[in-house]
Amino acid sequence: MTPSRGVLLYGPPGCGKILLAKAIDNEGQTNFISIKGPHVLTIQSGGSEDHIRDVLDKARQAAPCVLFFDELDSIGKARGGLADRVMNHILTEMDRMDPKENVFIIGATSRPNIIDSAVLEPAALRKSPVAKDVDMNLLASQTNGFTDANLTEICQRASKLAIREQVLKKNKCEEEQQHTRQIAMESDKPDPVLEIRHDHFQEAIQFLLNHPYNI
């Protein structure tokens, strides 16, 4: 699976978005560069785009690096004016990034509903498709002492389990509808949203525990 270039953290003020970003940086033992969205927009005319370019170049040179955009909604909201030009520049720079550059971008916002949809495209930042039944505190206690490679394997395996389950369900549904009139009606329906559930994570953790040479 091709790794995403970044992730969007969202939640009310004070819920720990910055703390989580720093924890990711600490666990990955990477360099950490933080930038506030409002600060970018206060730079004199023409300087905002140059500042973004300089920050991204600095992140590439400091790789492996976590680049943290706080209050992303200030520049990632619906298009218009200076914020439009700055966000276009950020997206362009992200498109140019190679996964081998080891730069991971984290955006944080308390207002995800006003974030421009282009920011959430697969090529940009992604909302993690984690189901509501996933208890992060429980997962943390179950994986205490695991390496970052172990945690990565668990997340990737859980994702693959969710994808496999969705594909099997879709294939079964299509087989059942082959000889009915429903197939014409159902074909226009969008696929259900993929979510990684608690049982997917548990199965992934159990697989790793059953193969202790991986830990």
DSSP state letters, 169-187? HHHHHHHHHTTSTHHHHHT
Query: Same domain, yes or no, for 54 and 78?
Result: yes
88: closest CA among 60, 35, 49?
Answer: 49
Structural domain including 121 reads 6-127
Q: Could you tell me the CATH number of the domain that includes residue 151?
A: 1.10.8
Rounded-to-integer distance, Cα 90 and Cα 8, Å:
14
The verdict on 11 and 110 lying in the same domain is yes
pLDDT digits (tens, 9 = 90+) for 143-192: 998 888 788 888 888 888 888 888 888 777 777 777 565 544 544 555 55
Do both 20 and 96 map to the same domain?
Answer: yes
Which pLDDT score, from 0 to 100, does residue 52 have? 79
- 103 plus 171 within the same structural domain: no
Report yes or no on 132 lying in a domain: no
**Domains contained in the chain, number:** 2
Residue 33, in any domain of the structure: yes
| Domain shared by 29 and 66, yes or no | yes
pTM higher than 0.75: no
Q: What does the pLDDT look like over 23-78, one tens digit per residue?
A: 888 888 889 999 887 777 665 556 777 777 888 888 888 888 888 988 888 776 65
Please state whether beta strands 65-70 and 103-109 pair in parallel, antiparallel, or not at all (unpaired). parallel
117, part of any domain: yes
Identify the helix (H) or strand (E) that includes residue 33: strand 31-36
Q: Does 177 reside within a domain?
A: yes
Please measure the distance between the N-terminal and C-terminal CA atoms of the chain and give it in whole angstroms. 21
pLDDT on residue 96: 73
Of residues 178, 200, 195, the one with CA closest to residue 187 = 178
